[in-house]
Amino acid sequence: MRARPTNPTDTSGARSSVTARVLDVLAAFSVERPRLTLTEISRRSGLPLTTTHRLVGELAAWGALERADDGHYRIGLRLWEVGALAPRSLGLRETAMPFLEDLYEVTRENVQLAVLDGTEVVYVERLSGRAAVNVITRVGMRLPLHATGVGLVLLAHADTELQEKVLSAPLRRYSEKTICDPDVLRRTLADVRRTGVAISDGQIETVAMSVAAPVRDTGGEVVAALSVVVPAAGASPLAYIPVVRAAARGISRALGHR
């Protein structure tokens, strides 16, 4: 078989390669490592230092990265501005915010809004007070579906294919209370669908308990999940279920669900 001649004007492969490298640079940053030196970015992205230096310089010039006085880089505001335009979070957050604020005023605890992305939950909004229990979640953070209240809600109402994909994969353990048995998780999801609420007690951090409910759109599809996270010690989920449900239903009605 003769090799297909190379078109010298075809740069699609080069563009793809450059795009992949840029994404590798951005993916080097994480919640645990939000500030990195040029050498650290090179090592974590797997790119040569010279290539990293060039790409980081271009990203910094555009505003996707910012360079601190000590030489460390961090994600820039320009990238945040672009990310904030994501339609699933933009309209949803604006619609949900009054109800999130009401729920926070009632509970004075962590109030969170999250959406499904692949096999993970992504937090798009979070309200918290000084006296609220300390939690690891923050806006933009991702966590697996099986170990969080909002994740259980989203997984319980996801399609069967996604549910089986999660159930057949290894379930990461975060604490001694994390559900890592597929049969237990399957029963838990059935309970969430039956009761309309998910309770995650100490699955991520043993000090915190989450009570979550689904948010639906005009067609009745679950498009997000709302939760309140409270101290696990001495807290009764029954005290929070009514207000969490009420807030979730309020957002759903605002989105057009009847």
Cα separation, 143 vs 137, in Å, equals 8
User: Nearest to residue 139, comparing CAs of 124, 160, 117, 118?
Assistant: 124
Structural domains of the chain sorted by starting position, each given as residue range(s) with its CATH number in brackets? 18-82 (1.10.10.10), 86-255 (3.30.450.40)
pTM of the model: 0.73
Question: Model confidence over 47-80: pLDDT tens digits?
Answer: 999 999 999 999 999 999 999 989 999 998 888 7
Q: Say if residue 236's pLDDT is above 70.
A: yes
Mean pLDDT, residues 192-215:
94
- Answer with the residue of higher pLDDT: 31 or 171: 171
Question: Model confidence over 71-112: pLDDT tens digits?
Answer: 999 998 888 778 766 655 557 888 999 999 999 999 999 999
For strand 110-117 and strand 208-216, is the pairing parallel, antiparallel, or unpaired? Answer: unpaired
- 3-class secondary structure, 82: helix
Mean pLDDT, residues 146-160:
96
Q: How confident is the model at residue 4 (pLDDT cuts 50, 70, 90)?
A: very low
User: Nearest to residue 149, comparing CAs of 211, 57, 221, 231?
Assistant: 211
Quick check: 78 and 60 in contact, CB under 8 A? no
- Name the strand (E) or helix (H) holding 234: none
Question: Model confidence over 127-136: pLDDT tens digits?
Answer: 988 778 888 8
